[in-house]
Amino acid sequence: MADYYKEGFLIQVIFYSMIWLISEYTGFLLCVIMAGVIAALLIFAYIVELVQKSKVPKSYFRWMLVCCLAPALVCLAFSLIYQGNFDWLEG
């Protein structure tokens, strides 16, 4: 079975970027919340895996890492593009 990490990452980047272009506030919140929740799940799953081995494939952890990095990188990129001057902070 082929693992499509690059394609999945690019699809997520496009999705989160479209949300950012539609609404900065919604895009920011979505990226921060998704990155945080997925990172917490990844850390929890990794700790459980260290305590007791399971039959979870390694690809699960790779996909979770990709799913965590995509919104975080989009948030960072748009924050740098807008230089932190968001419309919703002014009004």
- Is the pLDDT score of 3 beyond 90? no
Give the residue carrying structure tokens 């082929």. Answer: 2
Distance of alpha carbon 84 from alpha carbon 3, whole angstroms: 36
Question: What is the model's pTM?
Answer: 0.86
Element (H, E) at 44: helix 24-51
pLDDT digits (tens, 9 = 90+) for 32-61: 999 999 999 999 999 999 999 888 888 889
Q: Would you give the distance in Å from CA 80 to the centre of its chain? A: 17
